[in-house]
Structure 1
């Protein structure tokens, strides 16, 4: 039987669509997600990207800084489900002026020393690290990559991403891991940032860090930026005022978790 080109295209489209439909998931905040890739693949990508960064960026040898960050991470990770990552997390402090931190699938956490000059106490550092872990808990890297792959409706495109061994040279993968962004996904990234804020707030409160300090952190961030930033609609991150508003709205629940925490964190 002769099959027309149009019929073949419809079949391919139907198969791709079916693959996407059966890959729906729900985030920790109840938001619908598209998840195509196996988490094991994201873990491998995260590990490879982290190894590359450790080669390219100087690692801090300051004992106090390393002890502080490791302690904070340990306290937070006590409340991260093993289903997120069941191995031993690796925490590295990078000697770099960036006011930033990140967490990657595969149990990797990086904090830049520049952050420690703006996040002025253990609670504020915990707010940032908790936020970054929140991205991993919510599988945002997988979701970003899945959305990008699904946009083309090609199984070949998905396979090509899975087979890539050059993470450091693959913009889509680096974008998915939260290490790079593109203008076309800005609104989507802001949704992720807001969700990670909420997850991180919950996480820090459970671990016994003062949740109200997350608001103070973003006041510090606003002061540190000196107005040199793009308008919110051109940014991958919500404006500090927006983040403060969202955090404040979720503060009563977080405060209750903090008050009920069995232990109060002490990494100072």
Structure 2
């Protein structure tokens, strides 16, 4: 009976793949903590900014072509007014931002790298005032400012690098044991790395958005009311451990923390003349 090939023989046949996976995994580990988000949190963002901008622009263009846009000019002006006030409060240079209102009843909004903002008409049923809408859009801008998409993509690349190493070291690729171990590693990475980071991103975007809306002249206390509305509209939620979003109660509690500081920013902005005159349709 022929003997099993040594694992090194498999590696010898795929040196480039091995080196690529090893380099990626080592790179992420070595660079961990080298960058900081706007809140001072350590993070790793390895994808070039130009590539993230291109990805954001491409995704936005696809949405504009595939999703219906609102034909209500008053609603578009209102959302544009709130979004532009927030953009104007960003540190310079912030570039040009594009804003689109999609005719979709689901309460959703997003912001993409490259300065792209989208708001569903259904969000206006939950974010009922200009201040509450500012909390929504400010939160989404916060994701962009903190480069969460870049960080998440970097994490995904690291996971794929780890899975590649499992394949490379497997004595019997395709065997039941190998596939079971590979799935276990993927599941562990999802719930042990990717989801906790997503919850961190949500909390961080809440903080950044709350302070940004205050600097733009919107009352940051409306951010808590927004999530009270969300809780009333959303009903039951998945278990917090398996959710990429904090629970509504946790979210409101964390937003209320340091609210005095955010209100001080708001009052300072209002005294300086930052008084957005955005009127709901």
The TM-score, its normalising length taken from structure 2, stands at 0.78
Is the aligned partner of 1:69 residue 2:79?
yes
For 1:1-268, list aligned pairs within 5 A.
15-17=23-25, 19-20=27-28, 21-22=30-31, 24-82=34-92, 85-86=94-95, 88-153=96-161, 185-225=194-234, 227-261=235-269, 262=272, 263-268=274-279
CA spacing shift, 1:13–1:63, aligned 2, 3 Å = closer
Moved over 4 A (4+): 4-14
Alpha-carbon offset, residue 250 of structure 1: 2.2
Distance between the aligned counterparts of 1:101 and 1:78, measured in 2? 19
In 2, Cα distance between equivalents of 1:53 and 1:208: 30
Which of the two has higher C-alpha Rg? Answer: 2
TM-score, normalized by length of structure 1? 0.81
- Distance (Å, rounded) in 2 between the aligned partners of 1:114 and 1:77: 22
CA contact (8 A) 2:132 2:222 kept: yes
Higher mean Cα deviation, 20-29 or 53-62? 20-29
Corresponding residue SS for 1:93: strand
Deviation at 1:15, TM superposition (A): 3.7
- Partner deviation per Cα, 1:11-46 (whole Å, 9 max, x = no partner): 666643553334731001111101110011011001
What RMSD over aligned residues (CA atoms) do the two structures have, in Å? 2.4
Contact kept in structure 2, 1:198 and 1:250, CA below 8 Å: no
* 1:172 paired residue number: none
SS of the equivalent of 1:151 reads helix
Residue segments in structure 1 that go unaligned for 5+ positions in a row: 158-181
Unaligned runs of 5+ in 2: 1-7, 166-189
Closer, same or farther: CA 69–22 of 1 in aligned 2, 3 Å: same
